[in-house]
Chain A
């Protein structure tokens, strides 16, 4: 891929997609944000503009770089506008069929030389690539949330990914200032393979009466030096999202640690979704703890 590339981010109306668009635009690429939701795109545009303005005020970006990044940024709800893109990164809903269908449609829109990247965190790159008639052009490119701040990108070839395509995608990530690590195409790659079961174990420890959520998080933070405890992290990610991660991960691995714990399901049923609902394992309107 050329140094300055036409890049599309699909699902840019979501938090992750907007972050990836920032990474792309910030590194000088003409970036098309695609989403089926016009309001989602409008919200993303506002978030991106605010982020760049803050970057300038903090001295992390010059005003010229900000202007160039924003000039090269376009929003669209039409997939046909992605025809000139050399790289398409999808960050749509974490559903295999949705992702397969998207790449299938992109086959008829993009040039045969285009690279298709998936930001999936749990699904198989090989299975996603099967939705395209060009599975050799599909790679895994999993950014961490928030993508605009986290350097790490898990890079994964599928079983049929062309080595030159993988190298081109790797080089693009590196040139964008990110830090790629190579993983095999296995469920959860590295991050979620370790994190989803760990968070579940913490939830099961609450359920088993080992300790209160506050003491579990304090123990992990003090003993290991982690910034967040596992239950604070689940609250941040969203308990409903944790269930979806578990369902995707367990269906592929049958690892009992990956199965959604009963307490997690009960809390989701009760509307205790974490920070976004004001209460999960911890209450966010006050200091009260849940489940102690």
Chain B
């Protein structure tokens, strides 16, 4: 088997350094656009991977190109804000992305030791879409006096077997970051679960005042 070539296009951010020259079997070339690098089409490539922040693939790669190309995918290594990044890679499949491009991208990340999940190009992808409303609810419940913050986190650890509680986790990742993610989700979906919790609004306002 001929080793597949991986071309990493770095941008001003110098991101995707975590994807360190993986070795895996296959044929052809994969182009990886790290966050901040200008995304351009590579029609000859097996897969064109665009690193995402909280934005959608369509926002970074452009429409209609991103909607029509069979080799384009978005990806992100999930991190809870400033918390240590996880081993999860969310692979974003556009409407026209073919199975061969998905398979090549999966092989690339798995060879580098990551757990890969495939999701649609929707705001929040999987993890933020599901967990951010939990953080909002937890922050609100503490504000409303349902329980102390310590008891709420303890309840989730003992009662649900979580590694940590939702409030300690959202604080660790950054309340202002939580505001950024949920404000974007709320703008798209308009549902109350995504409305940023009061403490995160205050954190974002403090950040704005500092800058």
Contact = CB atoms under 8 A, between A and B. Distances in A.
A223 B147 contact: no
Interface residues of B, number: 45
Given A205-B126, A205-B130, A223-B86, A152 B117 contact: no
B159 A201 contact: no
A53 interface: no
Interface in A133-189: 144, 150-152, 154, 179, 181-184, 186, 189
A201 B146 CA distance: 22
Given A194-B137, A209-B120, A219-B126, 12 more contacts: A152-B154, A154-B159, A191-B160, A197-B134, A208-B122, A210-B126, A211-B117, A219-B119, A219-B127, A222-B86, A224-B127, A224-B169
B141 to A, nearest CB: 6
Nearest to B166: A194
Interface of A: 144, 150-152, 154, 179, 181-184, 186, 189-191, 193-195, 197-198, 201-202, 205, 208-212, 215-216, 218-220, 222-228, 230, 255-257
A280 to B, nearest CB: 18
Nearest to A226: B162
B151 A211 contact: no
A40 B80 CA distance: 46
B55 interface: no
B118 A211 contact: yes
Interface of B: 78, 80, 86-88, 90, 115, 117-120, 122, 125-127, 129-131, 133-134, 137-138, 141, 144-148, 151-152, 154-156, 158-164, 166, 169, 191-193
B133 A197 contact: yes
A152 B159 contact: yes
A182 B117 CA distance: 38
Contact of A193 (B137, B145, B160): B137
B130 A198 contact: yes
Given A181-B154, A191-B155, A211 B119 contact: yes
